[in-house]
A and B are shown apart, each in its own frame.
Chain A
């Protein structure tokens, strides 16, 4: 089967399933007794196994299979959930992740998994003995033994059958030596048995039987009202059957939970029908199905194309509106107005289609925090709030790395060792809060720890020794200014450079990344109490608010995020400093930048007595951009200038105006030195 066309879907869904496994494992750690969690993990792992086997990634399927076996043992209460076990399970999730990444990168997804498989098997085999059953270790191909054991669910079914006055038979069937289509015979036997009763369990499992993975004989446990003789006669009617022995099955004798529950959907579904006792297991797969049916994966590029086409439509709409105004025809006007409304709604929908919950970024953190905490010997609890907050895909893609860095930073530098916390009268468990929320046109992400906070003296000492500030400057600095220092380049507050952070990638990189996204970051810290990093991000990078300005004949867009205000200033108020034009803007001296000069616009003679100025800022620096006139504020769709023109001075992109013309977007940061 050619599976390449499914590869993308496979990768996406595998990631999703792995994420579920990962999340639930962490949940399980908190509530080791909750077996419904194990069931959920099992389901996702099972799906993953099935998919990878179908796609032909054997190593992936194999490791997942071993993982499943352990989960199975847990859910049958043969082994208990322990920290060591979770370590190994999480490690195998990591392995699986690497394999999937490899596949995504065009690889085969093969990896040496022997050590982790060994560990998994140890857990599975070693721990299962503690329950005192004589259950034998499960391996890929079960040889025909006579031990049949049942998990709790099966036992319930059997007990119920007994209560219903049904017979439970243990049937051994052997096929003729020369039987050609063993699987077919088995199928026929099951067919016959299925007519008057239920096959509860088979040895080997139905899957193995279907694969002809057995010798000549197999056994089933069967519930029926028929007599043994009748059954024997019926089964014997199937050709190529050598021998059938039917014996009454002693339920109590093999009342041990089975080490391996069956992945056999046929038998399970029959049980479900039969059983009045409904486990959540029976309902949830359907529920999950319903949810997954409601979404569809769309390539982001297609959405971009849709957006482009839509903009064309908007431009035409503008023209139509103009025409209908001129013609002043009632029907036409009505229709155009209706169309405008609908296209407005359409625009909203297209934009929201690109929104994804920030959970996609957050969900990788619990495991990371757990691992880091264990590595460092710290006790840390991670809380996540507002994971459902939605952001444009373009922002989501960029925000992950800065967050990873901030969280590592908080765990490594922020939260103290348990003893130290105790000594300082804090709870031994440190708390890390990751929180996202909407506010206005922005999304805020906060990383808050209740660690040691920023040590003003230490930071200043370091800043002075690094030459970032001078002694004199240091004395007059406010706490906020000191906090800002840790985001200066080449700064690390840790006494020692540890493995976790301080590897040369400083918070300055985080700051730059966030600012390049049009966001900002601020730090709030109290020494001994904790630190909060607060990141403000635009909802989307593809749509921004701008002020459209005119420079001679040309229209430019200035992002609203960098504008403080606009002003009209009399030419006589302009002063000169260092031969540069400056103005006094609310007490600050602000240099003027003539856009017509910067952009080499052919200037016409200007006899106006006023300058129209857009005051922009970069950090705490300001500049006044001199333009000819303002058009007004507008939401625009941000577009690149194409791969051909990169690094055009002071231009960060372009947009298409209502009349179809292209307007350039000014990067005011480049204009402020």
Chain B
């Protein structure tokens, strides 16, 4: 996903541990509360399972696990952000989602070499807005299927 928007990007802001992340609003279908998830056996570890999203079976991934952040129990503020990209609808479990901000393209800086424990590949850039540091995600990479099979083979071996 190259930079498609020339001016402002409207992003949904969500929380993972103590950092704030952003995904462009046009990829977000809805934000759901936590609900029962049916486990899918032998799926990659970060795939929590599938939910019934208004009649559509939708896979759910746990972003904490995807990014290798330590697990925590789900709370009242835990949300599932349903994103859809390349015909794939996926829900991402995040610690909380409660903001929409406009990010000027000029405010986005390339990802620093090391940002916490997150693999740099997932990060499109970092935006600094009034003292807030927002990590903009590269959804393509977050949801990439190749990565999944890579991971699952690693896990199996």
Contacts and interface: CB of A to CB of B under 8 A. Distances in A.
Given A656-B55, A656-B57, A662-B57, A641 B39 contact: no
Contacts of B55: 307-309, 311-312, 656
Interface string B40-58: 1111000101111011111
A636 to B, nearest CB: 12
A445 B42 CA distance: 38
B36 A642 contact: no
A85 to B, nearest CB: 49
B57 A640 contact: yes
Contacts of A601: 41
A662 B41 contact: no
Interface stretch (A342-350, A446-454, A645-653): A645-653
Interface in A624-664: 639-645, 648-651, 654, 656, 660-664
Contacts of B43: 645, 648
Interface residues of A, number: 28
Contacts of A102: none
A599 interface: yes
A642 B50 contact: yes
Contact of A651 (B41, B86, B89): B41
Given A598-B41, A651-B41, A662 B89 contact: no
Contact of A663 (B38, B89, B90, B145): B38
B59 interface: yes
B143 interface: yes
Contacts of A664: 38, 40-41, 50
Contacts of A660: 36, 52
Given A308-B56, A644-B143, A649 B42 contact: yes
A471 interface: no
Contact of B58 (A311, A312, A642): A642
Contacts of A656: 52, 55, 57
Instruction: Say which size band chain B's interface belongs to.
Output: 20 to 34
A662 B54 contact: no
B38 A644 contact: no
A654 B50 contact: yes
B87 interface: yes
A599 B43 CA distance: 10
Given A642-B59, A642-B88, A644-B88, A308 B54 contact: yes
A660 B51 CA distance: 9
Contacts of B36: 660-661
Nearest to A599: B41
Contact of A642 (B38, B42, B90): B90
B51 A662 contact: yes
A64 B41 CA distance: 58
Nearest to A305: B55
Contacts of A662: 38, 49-52, 57
A600 B56 contact: no
A366 to B, nearest CB: 38
Contacts of A461: none
Interface in A585-620: 598-601
Contact of B57 (A307, A598, A641, A650): A641
Nearest to B55: A308
B98 to A, nearest CB: 26
Which of A312, A601, A643, A644 has the most CB atoms of chain B within a 10 A radius of its CB? Answer: A644
Contacts of B41: 598-601, 648-651, 664
A404 to B, nearest CB: 29
A650 B41 CA distance: 9
Interface string A81-120: 0000000000000000000000000000000000000000
A184 B43 CA distance: 75
Given A308-B54, A663-B38, 15 more contacts: A642-B56, A642-B89, A643-B87, A644-B59, A644-B89, A648-B41, A648-B42, A649-B42, A654-B38, A654-B57, A656-B55, A656-B57, A660-B36, A661-B36, A664-B40
9 contacts: A308-B54, A312-B54, A643-B89, A645-B47, A648-B43, A649-B41, A654-B57, A660-B52, A662-B52
Interface of A: 307-309, 311-312, 554, 598-601, 639-645, 648-651, 654, 656, 660-664
